[in-house]
Amino acid sequence: MNILNTLCEHEWKFEHRRPRDHMKKILMVFIEPTPYILDLIYALEKTEVGKIDVIFLKENFSQNWKLSLNDNYIVLKKNESMVKMLYQRIIKEKYDAIFLAGWSHPTTLVFLMLSKIFRIPVVIDSDTPLLPNTLFWKRVIKRIVYPVLFTLPNLFLPGGTRQANYLKHYFVPCKKIILEKMTVNVLTIQKSIDKLPSDARIEFRKQLELTDKDIIFLYVGRLIERKGIQELLEAFSNINNPFVKCVIVGDGPLKPIVEEVAKVNHNIIYVGWLEKYKIIEVLFMSDIFVLPAHWEPWGLVINEAMAAGKPVIVTDQVGCADDLVIDKKTGLIIKSKSVADLTTAINYLLDNPKQCQIMSKNALELISHWTLEDSAKQICIALSNSMKIVN
């Protein structure tokens, strides 16, 4: 029998046997487990949103995160009958609401369709901005399909202003949009830094053969073209000051290029992939954070850098720029793919150390209003409102 026919046959029975006086049950569906997502789930579990079940569609999809997962988290297996498993789970668990991280993956679309069949409210989280240089035919298809697709979710949770504008571009009404305030575990980062000994900055620098006189620009992320790695390397080839260093943390296809440049340019320090606690150490010892991405949906590393009190340099194609980077107040915004702009920004911060100190204080103040607790609160509001809409 066709699976959709089976679903439709069960719809009436499912709707009438669902108890409404029990503790709310929420299903959350993510593409993959990442440190940010696990921290967010933990923050949500401390709220009164209800019992939370979690499904991950893949593990280590974007990179090898090396994370340990709770036994009650489900990771879909390759050979598993996806539609059958999802259908059986929704029938069995009788969820009161479903949270989907995005809509582009085929499995999330299946969840979306199932939720409409069984009249389960759906909230969709989104970090998607309008992308630069999208092919014309793709823009046409999205302009036709997305306004229809976006009528299906009950509410949307865009990460910030630019992501909300993306939804409005496809005619999602404001009443269906609740700003999530996408972020990281800001308070944990700050508490970890507060616990460091007074000489930690110098000691961390000594491990990389750096001194307290060095001015350190830091990049943390994947070593791929769209992150602007090649522009970063080229910009620092223009800096002749021996006390100005660029520390690069991460792994990826461009690793051999970074290693080769670091051998001949002593302004570049490549340290490879680091564990999460080590990231806090390099953030603490650095002076300025830089993300010269060609495009970036959000850029959670900017949240992390600001939580550590660092001024930031980002391109105009980094998704969090509208909300977190106030030009010359919390950081600098430059044109993407422009080595000249990046070099100018580096030199501006070198020439204005007092301005850097002001930016540091401003960054800490702004990011204090973008905590995981704030994000979890917004998600709870969206889930609660979505259930009211259906009921």
Eight-state DSSP code of residue 220: E
Q: What is the dihedral of CA 227, 69, 273, 257, to 10 degrees?
A: -50
Residue 293 main-chain phi, psi, to 5 deg:
-70, 145
Kindly give, in sequence order, each residue whose CB lies less than 8 Å from that of residue 124, ignoring residues fewer than 6 positions away.
Answer: 99, 100, 101, 102, 103, 112, 153, 155, 156, 157
Same CATH fold, 186-367 and 3-183+372-390? yes
Query: What is the tens place of the pLDDT at every residue in 109-157?
Result: 888 988 888 999 999 999 999 887 788 898 899 999 999 999 999 999 9
Rounded mean pLDDT, 281-310: 97
Sheet holding 215-220, edge to edge: 268-272, 244-249, 215-220, 288-291, 312-315, 331-334
Residue 17: HSE in the Cβ half-sphere, 13 Å Cα cutoff: 9
| Cα angle 152-62-113, degrees, rounded to a multiple of 5 | 15
| Predicted pLDDT of residue 84 | 75
| Predicted pLDDT of residue 363 | 98
Asked if the model's pLDDT at residue 17 lies above 50, the reply is: no
Residue pair 29/98 in contact (Cβ under 8 Å)? The answer is yes
Q: What whole-number distance in Å separates Cα of residue 60 and Cα of residue 310?
A: 29
Asked if the model's pLDDT at residue 2 lies above 70, the reply is: no
pLDDT, the chain, mean: 90
Give the pLDDT band (50/70/90) at residue 80: low
Q: Is 54 helix (H, G, I), strand (E, B) or coil?
A: strand
May I ask the CATH architecture of the domain 186-367?
Answer: 3-Layer(aba) Sandwich (3.40)
Residue 25 main-chain phi, psi, to 5 deg:
-115, 125
Rounded mean pLDDT, 210-236: 97
Q: Which region among 44-48, 297-301, 319-323, 344-348 has the lowest average model confidence (pLDDT)?
A: 44-48
Within the chain, strands assigned E span 25-30, 51-56, 73-75, 97-101, 122-126, 155-158, 215-220, 244-249, 268-272, 288-291, 312-315, 331-334
Residue 85: HSE in the Cβ half-sphere, 13 Å Cα cutoff: 12
Task: Determine the residue type at 228.
Answer: G
Name the fold adopted by 3-183+372-390. Answer: Rossmann fold (3.40.50)
Asked if the model's pLDDT at residue 21 lies above 60, the reply is: no
Asked if the model's pLDDT at residue 271 lies above 50, the reply is: yes
Rg (CA), the chain: 23
Rounded mean pLDDT, 267-279: 93
Residue pair 57/33 in contact (Cβ under 8 Å)? The answer is no
Q: Give the domain ranges of the chain.
A: 3-183+372-390, 186-367
Query: What is the tens place of the pLDDT at every residue in 233-269?
Result: 999 999 999 999 999 999 999 999 999 999 999 999 9
Q: Considering the chain, what percentage of its residues have pLDDT values greater than 70? A: 93
Q: What whole-number distance in Å separates Cα of residue 194 and Cα of residue 337?
A: 36
Query: What is the tens place of the pLDDT at every residue in 82-114?
Result: 677 777 778 888 899 999 999 888 888 888 988
